[in-house]
Amino acid sequence: MKLYSYFRSSASYRVRIALNLKGLSYEYAAVHLLRGGGEQFAPEYRRVGPDCIVPALVDGDITLQQSLAIIEYLEETHPHPPLLPSTPADRAYVRAIALQVACEIHPLNNLRVLKYLKHELSVSDDAKDAWYQHWVRNGFDVLESMLADDPRTGKFVFGDTPTMADLALIPQVFNAQRFQVDMQPYPTIQRIYDEAMQHDAFMRAAPGQQPDAE
Amino acid sequence: MKLYSYFRSSASYRVRIALNLKGLSYEYAAVHLLRGGGEQFAPEYRRVGPDCIVPALVDGDITLQQSLAIIEYLEETHPHPPLLPSTPADRAYVRAIALQVACEIHPLNNLRVLKYLKHELSVSDDAKDAWYQHWVRNGFDVLESMLADDPRTGKFVFGDTPTMADLALIPQVFNAQRFQVDMQPYPTIQRIYDEAMQHDAFMRAAPGQQPDAE
């Protein structure tokens, strides 16, 4: 398999964790999201990722896009260890937590949105940082209240082993810390993050461990 | 089943289509996203939807959130007719198209984001409309090029019957038209939308057909 990735991309980070947890080796193809206006817009990348977004995963003659769709594919083709629980209700819960990050927090804070705020709306750096922190806090407020109250919460989001929910949550926490979001109000999220940071599959997937890390 | 929904919410619209396609009857619980600052923030709704987002689906003693997680749940518990293809690669493709809408377009244009632009960033109405149209066009440019070129495209996104991808795409087109996005550059998307509009399950799920329609 070949993963098109950028070390700081949190969607790429999700897939890197999944590949590591499944014990799948892969070739790392770096796509620099800033250099030369962004290598994701280059014709060579568009052939792999017509959405101009990382990650993309190539598995033989199959090319896959969108991190959560890629993770579902890996789950279906390499079911062990499972990244989703066994009952439909629990699977829906884990997917909902993952989507809470992937639909409600991350899309508002990725590079192209921050660029639009700055260049098209002339938003100041302070107001841009406030925007970033607002959507993280908004999402983490919800997640913390859900995770703190739910009996399914264990060392990880669902029980004591990682699921798709952790694959989405951990990179978001990493980014939140990078952008100085105060994690004090989120002890459950912080505890899960600290747990994950001791886990080999998460450690090896971290931005600083990638070949294109700066 | 009981669906907490708002007629104009496109995430609710996705689930309404899924329920109709699966032939499942449900009670409609209207949650007005504007009235009194938004009924989704009221304590009564928080007990069902702690994320303060519609839709939520209650199935017996199970409460579900996040439209795509709800649709996966319905697919697992009521597999016929299927809303996902049969091979992992095709399933990943359909999920990627759905996520392309759900992660790359919709989150940037929902009510709370438009409110933030207006009230926190003092963005003019014109600039707010330009923002809205920018993200729709950005996403539709990608989707049109993918769908126009892919041999899997039929009357619907994948072949001649609706899948999860259409459940995400059709409400987004509805919204795009409402916000005067020029659909001329998107003939494939428009053709799929026109096809869906003749389909009973999609027609009955449309905002104008809901009990809380204004």
Structure tokens at A140: 């983490």
pLDDT for position B50: 86
pLDDT for position A51: 87
CATH code given to domain B88-202: 1.20.1050.10
Any chain B CB within 8 A of the CB of A134? Answer: yes
Which pLDDT band holds residue A14 (cuts at 50, 70, 90)? very high
Which pLDDT band holds residue A47 (cuts at 50, 70, 90)? confident
CA distance to B124, B138, B175, per residue, from A119 (Å): 15, 16, 26
User: What is the predicted ipTM?
Assistant: 0.97
Q: Do A52 and B142 touch (CB under 8 A)?
A: yes
Q: Do B103 and A100 touch (CB under 8 A)?
A: no
Any chain A CB within 8 A of the CB of B103? Answer: yes
* pLDDT tens-digit readout, B106-158: 999 988 999 999 999 999 999 999 999 999 999 999 999 999 999 999 999 99
Any chain A CB within 8 A of the CB of B110? Answer: no
B interface test, pick of A68, A90, A145 with most B CB neighbours within 10 Å: A68
pLDDT for position A100: 97
Nearest to B108 among A65, A108, A146 (CB): A108
Residues of chain B below pLDDT 70: none
CA atoms within 13 A on the CB side of A94: 26
- Residue A114: CB atoms within 10 A of its CB come to 16
Residues on chain B touching A77 (C-beta within 8 angstroms): 88
CA distance to A52, A53, A86, A166, per residue, from B142 (Å): 8, 10, 35, 29
Any chain B CB within 8 A of the CB of A209? Answer: no
CA geometry: angle A114, A115, A118, nearest 5 deg: 90
pTM: 0.97
Residues in B 51-70 with any Cβ partner in A closer than 8 A:
51-53, 62, 64-66, 68-70
Q: Is A49 exposed, middle or buried (0-12, 13-18, 19+ CB in 10 A)?
A: buried
Any chain B CB within 8 A of the CB of A197? Answer: no
pLDDT for position B144: 98
A·B CB contacts under 8 A: 120
B interface test, pick of A51, A106, A120, A135 with most B CB neighbours within 10 Å: A51
Considering the segment(s) B2-81 as one domain, its CATH architecture is 3-Layer(aba) Sandwich (3.40)
Average of per-residue pLDDT values in chain A? 96
For A55, nearest residue in chain B (alpha carbons): B96
Average pLDDT over residues A30-41: 90
Nearest to B77 among A52, A88, A103 (CB): A88
Nearest to A103 among B76, B107, B134 (CB): B107
pLDDT for position B148: 96
* pLDDT tens-digit readout, A145-197: 999 999 999 999 999 999 999 999 999 999 999 999 999 999 999 999 999 99
| Percent of chain B topping pLDDT 70 | 100
Q: Do A51 and B102 touch (CB under 8 A)?
A: no
CA distance B107 to chain A (A): 6
Angle at which helices B125-149 and B164-178 cross, to 10°: 140
Cβ contacts of A106 within 8 Å, gap of 6 or more: A10, A11, A168, A172, B103
Q: Do B127 and A145 touch (CB under 8 A)?
A: no
Residue written as tokens 């922190």? A133
Rounded CA separation A149/A161 (Å): 18
Q: Do B88 and A99 touch (CB under 8 A)?
A: no
Residues on chain B touching A130 (C-beta within 8 angstroms): 120
pLDDT for position A37: 85
Q: Do B89 and A64 touch (CB under 8 A)?
A: yes
Q: Where are the domains of chain B?
A: 2-81, 88-202
SS3 content of chain A, % helix, strand, coil (to 5): 55, 10, 35
Q: Do B127 and A121 touch (CB under 8 A)?
A: yes
Residue written as tokens 């399914």? A152
Three-class SS state of B28: strand
Residues on chain A touching B106 (C-beta within 8 angstroms): 103
SS3 content of chain B, % helix, strand, coil (to 5): 55, 10, 35
CA distance A55 to chain B (A): 12
Any chain A CB within 8 A of the CB of B29? Answer: no
pLDDT for position A59: 98
pLDDT for position A72: 98
* pLDDT tens-digit readout, A106-148: 999 988 999 999 999 999 999 999 999 999 999 999 999 999 9
Residues on chain B touching A76 (C-beta within 8 angstroms): 88, 91
Q: Do A100 and B66 touch (CB under 8 A)?
A: yes
Residues on chain A touching B89 (C-beta within 8 angstroms): 62, 64, 73
